[in-house]
Chain A
C-alpha cells in the first residue's frame, strides 16, 4: 500500500479518473495499440471467467446428483482446455500489445517533448525547471511505461471478472447479485473520497517533510562550516530535531493515510458475510435453489479479489500523477512565435520602450530604450540584479520582450527568420559549454562545412592553436568527461574560436569574473579582442579598460537606464556611474595590507 510513498510534489489534488484521462491522452497515435492491449487483457479475463462458468456448471450439476460420465469429464476438460488456450492466446496478445506499445508511447512522447522544447523560449527550460525537464524525459517516462504496460491492463483485468460474475448472478438470482454489489457500492464513496483526501494529505506531508528535509540537507552541506567553528554539538542538536520532526510527521500522516485504505478493504469484504446471510435466508425460504446458492458462494471471492487489487493499481496511477503534471507543463507551454517576414537592413540595434519580466510580479526591465549603431561598442554597467544580463538575453530571443520593440537593422527580432537571426548574433557565454566530441567538432560548430584551414585559423585567432596541437590527439582530442581535462581558460578559448569562425556581425558578451590565472586571462583577453574586431559589440562590462573604451555606456539600476553616455561625461555627472567607477578603482588599487 504505497499510496503514501508518492515521492514527487503534486501541485494540486486530482481524482484518479482525471489522471487516467490525462495519461490516456498522452498515448497519442498509439491509442489503438494501447486499447488493443487492454481489450485483449479483458478478453483474457473473460476466458478465465469461462473456467469459472464451467466450474459452476459442473459443481452445481454434481450437487444435483448428475452422474459423472467419461464424456462429461471430456466435455468439461475440453472446455477448460479451450479456456486455457484462450487465456494463453489473449494473454500473449495482451502482453505483447501493452508492452510494446508502452515503449513506443514513451519513445514517441520523448520525441514530442524534445521537439516541443525546441519551440519554447530558451529560458523556459534553462531556468528553475531544468531538473524537472530531465526528469520528465528519463524517469517520468519509465513511470509512464509501466503505467501503460502494467497498470492500465490491470484495471481491465480487475474489472472484467467481477462484471461477468455480476451479470451471471443477476440472471440467476438478482437479489443475491444485488447483495454482492452492495458492499462495493458502499465502498466506492470511501474510495473516491479517500483518493482525493489521500492526494491532498500526500501533498501536505510532502510540504512538511520538505521543510524538515531542507534542515537535514543544510546540516550536511554546512558540515564543514559547522566543524570549522567548532559547533558540532549545536549542529547535531538541530539535525536531531529535524529528523525527530521528520519521523513524527511521517508516522502521524501514515496513520491518517492507512486507515481509509484499510476501511475500503474492510467494507468490500463485508460483502462476504452479507451475501452468506442473504443466501441463507433465501435458501431457507425456498426462494433460491441449491445450484444458485453454490454458484454464488464459489464465485464470491473471484468477485471481490480483483476489486481489492484495483486499489494497488490506483496507487500506481497516483504515483504517475506527478510525472503527468510535469509532462503537461511542458506540452501546454505556449510556443515561441516564429515569423520570417522582416529582413534586417544593416546591423544597428535598437531597444524602444522594452519591458520584460521572468515573473509577472517582478519586472526586470522597464522602458529600456537605446540604440547601438553598427560597429560600435556599448558597455552595460550597474549593480548586481539591475537587469544587465537580461538585456543580452533578449537580443538572440532567449526570451521575448513583453512590451516595446527590439529591432536589428530595422527588423523586429521576433519577425526575423530564426536561422538569419542566429547568423547575425554571437553570444560569448559566461559558462562555457563544450559538446561531447572532438575539439575540431566543437570549433566547426561555428560554421557548417568549415575547412580544416578555417578551423585552424579561428583557433589561432583565439589563442587556442598552440595548446591544441600540444594535446596528444591535437584537434581530434575528445573533450568532455572521458576526454582530455581542459582547464577553464582553455575551454573558454575553444568557445571563442567557435565564435570567431561563426563570424557574426553582432557580438554579445558578459565579462567573466571567475577565478582564472593571469596567463590564461591574458590569452582570453587577446582572443576576445580578435573576436570583437569590427563588430557591433554589447558587453556587460566589469573591467575598467573595457568600460573606458566603450562608445556608449548604459548605467542600469533596478531595470531602468539611469544614465548613459561616454566615460568622461558620466564621471563628471557624479551620479551612480561615478560611484560605481570609484568602487572599482578602489578595488583595483586595493592591497591586503598589514
Chain B
C-alpha cells in the first residue's frame, strides 16, 4: 500500500510492561474450527491484492525510464495505462473480497467462541454468574467477543498483506541495487528504535498513569453517585473541588507523559516518512560515482519513498492487538473456571428430607459457614433465621448446588446432592429467591418455564394459586402480554408472583424460599404470602426469613450466628429459652410496634 499516513495507535498510554499480546488471537484459534480455509483464502487474496498494488508503481517506473531513455510513445503509455487499470480494478476487488471473507471468518469465529462460552457457562456452578451484575453478562457475551472482530477481520488481512508488501518491496529494492536499497531504508530502523525508546521513557510512568486513571474513574463515579447527598448537605463546592483536583492531576500526568514522549515520538513520526531526503542525495552521489543510472534512481524514488508504510501499519496493528488483549480478560477467566461436577446418575430417593452434615463453605477467601448441621424433615417447614451475615442465605443456596460445599455434605433423601445428576436435583427442588428473573416473552411463556407441556388449565391454576391470575387478566393482553424492555413493566411484587407461579407449576417436592417477599411492595406482600402458603403444602419447605412473624408456625427454626447453628427448636421453645432467638424476636416486635414518633400516638389514644 503506497499510502502516506501516520500511525494512530501509538499513544504512550497504550504501553504496558509485558502483557500477553496475543491472548485473544490464541483464544480465537482454539475455538475457530472450520474457519481456517476462509482465513487462508482471505490472506492469500489480500496478498495478491497488495502485489497488484505494486503494479502501478512498476508501470510508472517503466514509463519514467522510457521517457528518460527515449522511445516513449502513446502506444506504450496506453498499454501501461491498461495494465495499471486492470491492476487497480482487480486489486481493489480482491481486497474487497478478502475483507469480506475475513469478516465472514471473524463472525464465525465469534459465533464459535460464544457457543463455547455458553456451553461452559452451563456447566459452571450456578452461583458463578448469578452473582455477577448485568453489566458483566453483556461484557462477557456481547462486548468482549465482539472486539475480536477487529482482530480477525482487519488485523489478519492487513497484517498479512503488510508483511507481504514489506518483504516484496525490500526484496525488490535489494535486487535492483543493494547500495541504494540501504540508503532508501536507512531512516526506517532508526525511526523505530527512537519510538521504542520513547515508549520506554513514557512507559516508566504507566503505573502512575494507571493509578491516576483509576482514581479519576472513582472520583467521577463518586461525584455522580454521591450527588444527591452532596446536594442535600450543601457540599457541592467541596465535592466538585475534590473531583476537579483529580481531573487536574490526571491531565498533569498525561501532559508529563506526553512531554517525555514528544521529542523522540515527533522525531519518529517525521523520520518514518522522510526517506526521500536520503534517497535523492545518496542517489545523486552514486550516479556521480557511476554506480547507478538515472532510471535506477527513479526506481528508488518511486518505490523507496514509502518504504516504512507497511511497517507502520504493522506497528499500529500490534498496538491495537495489544490494547484489545489487555482489555479483555473476562472470557479467559470464565473459560478457566472449573466446571461443576455432574454424575448424571439418577438415584432412588426414599424420602425428601434435606440434611446438612457439618457443612463448611466460603466465598473465595472468607469463610461463611463453619460446620453447619441440621435436618429439614420431609413434609415440614424449617426456617433459617439470624442476623445479617450469619450465613443463612448462603446455606440455602447450597441445597440446589448454586455452589458446592467445601467440606461436609448436604443430602436429599439420604443421597449426597452431588451424587445425583444435576437434572434430577433440579427436578426435586424448586427455589424462589430474592430477585426474580423473568425472560423477555409472554407471561404465559414465563410461567410455562416450570413445565413446558402444561395445559392452559394448569397454567391458570398455577397463576391463581400464586395470586397472579387477577392482575394478569387486567393486563391488555392477559397471559399473552409481553414482558421485557419493550413490553409491560410489572412491579416487584407482580414479578415475584409470576416466579412463584412458575415454581408452583413445577410441582417439586422440596422448596427453598429465600426472603421471597423482601423486595415486594407492601401492597402485594399479602398476596405473595398467600401464594407461598399454597406452594408449601405437603412439601419439604426451607425458608430464610427476616420477618419473623411469617415463620411462627415453623416445625423447626434453625438460628444461625456467624456461620454456625446457635439454637434450634420451635418458636415457643426458643422464646422461652431467652437467648439469641428470643432477643431477635424482641427486637422484631419492637420494630413493628414502636412508631416513628410517640407524641401522635399518645394524642390519638
Contacts and interface: CB of A to CB of B under 8 A. Distances in A.
Interface string B563-593: 0000000000000000000011101101111
Interface in B88-134: 88-89, 92-93, 95-96, 99-100, 103-104, 107-108, 110-111, 114-115, 118-119, 121-122, 126-127, 129-130, 134
Given A103-B258, A305-B306, A517-B388, A92 B526 contact: no
Nearest to B263: A92
Interface in A323-358: none
- A interface bracket (residues with beta carbon within 8 Å of B): 35 or more
Interface in A94-144: 94-96, 99-100, 103-104, 106-107, 110-111, 114-115, 117-118, 122, 125-126, 130, 133-134, 137-138, 142
A94 B267 CA distance: 11
Interface in A231-249: 231-232, 234-236, 239-240, 243-244, 246-247
- What's the dominant secondary structure at chain A's contact region? helix
The 9 closest A-B pairs by CB, nearest first: A280-B77, A107-B251, A422-B234, A91-B270, A309-B5, A262-B96, A518-B588, A95-B266, A273-B85
B504 to A, nearest CB: 12
B227 interface: yes
A229 B426 contact: yes
Given A273-B85, A384-B491, A519-B584, A445 B604 contact: no
Interface in B53-93: 56-57, 59-60, 63-64, 67-68, 72-74, 76-78, 80-82, 84-85, 88-89, 92-93
Contact of A551 (B146, B270, B502, B600): B600
B595 interface: yes
B385 to A, nearest CB: 8
Contacts of B343: none
A513 B519 contact: yes
B549 interface: yes
A68 interface: yes
13 contacts: A59-B64, A91-B266, A122-B228, A216-B114, A218-B440, A246-B107, A247-B107, A266-B93, A272-B84, A301-B306, A302-B305, A429-B228, A584-B522
Given A214-B485, A217-B134, A594 B537 contact: yes
A269 interface: yes
B395 to A, nearest CB: 15
B294 A59 contact: yes
Contacts of B244: 111, 114
B72 A283 contact: yes
Contacts of B543: 592
B224 A219 contact: no
Interface stretch (A19-27, A81-89, A195-203): A81-89
A492 to B, nearest CB: 11
A378 to B, nearest CB: 11
Given A122-B231, A305-B2, A514-B518, 18 more contacts: A55-B276, A96-B262, A103-B258, A114-B220, A218-B439, A220-B118, A221-B437, A232-B122, A266-B89, A283-B67, A290-B72, A396-B232, A514-B519, A515-B515, A517-B387, A518-B585, A545-B595, A546-B595
A58 B284 contact: yes
B423 interface: yes
Given A272-B56, A273-B84, A281 B74 contact: yes
Contact of B68 (A55, A216, A281, A294): A294
B374 interface: no
A94 B522 CA distance: 65
Residue among A225, A247, A290, A514 with max Cβ neighbours from chain B (10 Å):
A225
A385 B491 contact: yes
A376 B377 CA distance: 52
B99 A262 contact: yes
B592 to A, nearest CB: 7
B137 interface: yes
B159 interface: no
B435 to A, nearest CB: 10
A498 B233 contact: yes
Contacts of A517: 386-388, 546, 584
A568 B592 CA distance: 19
Given A262-B92, A305-B4, A384-B523, A219 B118 contact: yes
A572 interface: no
Interface in A298-317: 298, 300-302, 305-306, 308-309, 312, 316
B8 interface: yes
B480 interface: no
A384 B495 CA distance: 13
B190 interface: no
Contact of B281 (A80, A92, A383, A586): A80
A213 B138 contact: yes
B493 interface: yes
A488 interface: yes
Nearest to B78: A280
A126 B223 CA distance: 11
Interface string B259-298: 1011101110111011011101100110110000010011
B550 interface: yes
B81 A51 contact: no
A488 B217 CA distance: 25
B548 interface: yes
Interface in A505-529: 513-522, 525-526, 528-529
B356 interface: no
A267 to B, nearest CB: 9
Interface string B451-464: 01000000000000
Contacts of A171: none
A559 interface: no
B440 A521 contact: no
B105 to A, nearest CB: 10
Contact of B518 (A222, A262, A515, A529): A515
Given A217-B138, A517-B388, A262 B93 contact: yes
Contact of A230 (B232, B423, B584): B423
B243 interface: yes
Given A214-B440, A251-B103, A377-B597, A433 B228 contact: yes
Interface stretch (B16-24, B171-179, B406-414, B527-535): B527-535
A312 B429 CA distance: 57
Given A220-B129, A436-B218, A134 B67 contact: no
Interface string B434-471: 10010110000000011010000000000000000000
A435 B226 contact: yes
A230 B426 contact: yes
Contacts of B154: 1-2
A552 to B, nearest CB: 10
Nearest to B187: A84
A382 to B, nearest CB: 9
A549 interface: yes
B269 A95 contact: yes
A259 interface: yes
A318 interface: no
Contact of B224 (A81, A117, A384): A117
Contacts of B84: 272-273, 276
Interface string A52-90: 101100110011000010101100110011011001100
B229 interface: yes
A276 B115 contact: no
B141 A276 contact: no
Interface string A390-410: 000000101000000000000
B533 to A, nearest CB: 6
Contact of B4 (A99, A126, A161, A223): A161
B353 to A, nearest CB: 16
Interface string A359-389: 0000000000000000001000001110000
Given A107-B250, A521-B587, A222 B596 contact: no
B77 A526 contact: no
B150 A298 contact: no
Given A80-B281, A283-B72, A587 B522 contact: yes
